Amino acid sequence: MALETELSREEVRRTVFSPANRRRTVWTVTSLLARYGIRANAAKGEEFERIKLVRRRASRSLRELWSEGALYRQEATDNRGGFAEIKYVRPEDASGTYLIFCRRCGEARRSVNHAHGRTLEVCPGCGEGA
């Protein structure tokens, strides 16, 4: 993939949900771009400016998939490689506590996945679920 190529939400969706990527359960911007052969490590002093635009597009695409409900977001960030990145996971791979996008107000709403199903907490923004 050329650095100038537009990284669309549909390309990201195909990559995350591809059968070839079933073993990867946690997705960050860095892990997504690594699937396209784009690597940069700020902690090692590699040139970050040249891929800044592509990282923004990848971040925006993952965030859009989260807001659609296609991905869940973990509460803790991943800071390996010098970036504090949000971790996303496919709903079928989720276990434990995750953040779900509230469709009413756009806030992050906590969800707990357990053996008997999913429990949604009350939304802090709009009070949905109270």
* DSSP symbols for 80-125: GGG--EEEEE-GGG--EEEEEE-TTT--EEEEEEETTEEEEPPPTT
Contact 127, 120 (CB under 8 A): no
Number of domains in the chain: 2
Q: Which helix (H) or strand (E) holds 52?
A: helix 52-68
Cα dihedral across residues 47, 25, 97, 108: positive or negative: positive
Q: Tell me: the pLDDT tens digits for 60-96?
A: 999 999 999 899 998 877 776 667 789 999 988 887 8
Residue pLDDT, tens place only, 15-35: 999 999 988 889 998 889 888
In a domain, 3, yes or no: no
The reported pTM is 0.80
The boundaries of the domain holding residue 118 are 95-130
pLDDT averaged over every residue in the chain: 82
Asked if residue 76 and residue 22 are part of one domain, the reply reads yes
